[in-house]
Copies of this chain bind each other. A is one copy, B any other.
Amino acid sequence: MAASSVKHNKQSKKSVGCPVEFTLEAIGGRWKVLIIHHLLEGTKRFGELTRLLGGISARTLTRQLRELEASGIIDRKVHQQVPPKLEYSLTTIGRKLEPVLLAMHDWAEESLKSSRRSKK
């Protein structure tokens, strides 16, 4: 396989063809919906989120927050001081994810209800 051209497209992740997938990618991480949920209740600091999420590593939280930031969902405010202080909050568009989370929440409850009803 000499000189096989392996292209590293910047979009090599997943080519998103439809808006629904766009949203799914924005909130699809392991912790993102939880982070959004907590931020819906107000601004949080890095350490607060670490405690609230229970068990997330610093590296992973950093990455999830940066990805949410890149999606325009959260805002990252740096206070230059010692000790360092950072505040994370939802942007306007980020707060608009609430109906999405609610729709998902409702479906989950309905799904659990109907699976309790005899299926087998």
Interface positions of A (Cβ within 8 A of B): 1, 14, 17-24, 26-28, 30, 33-34, 37, 55, 71-72, 92-93, 96-97, 99-112, 114-115, 119
Min CB–CB distance A98 → chain B (angstroms): 10
- A33-B21, A34-B18 in contact; A107/B103 too (CB < 8 A)? no
- A28-B24, A30-B14, A33-B21 in contact; A103/B99 too (CB < 8 A)? yes
Interchain CA distance A59-B101 in the complex, whole Å:
31
20 contacts between A and B (CB under 8 A): A18-B34, A20-B37, A20-B101, A20-B104, A20-B105, A21-B34, A22-B112, A23-B108, A24-B27, A71-B111, A72-B115, A72-B119, A93-B107, A93-B110, A96-B107, A97-B107, A99-B103, A100-B103, A100-B104, A102-B103
SS class of chain A's interface: helix, strand, loop or mixed? helix
Number of copies: 2
Q: Is the CB of A108 within 8 A of B37?
A: no
Which of chain B's residues have a CB closer than 8 A to the CB of A30?
Answer: 14
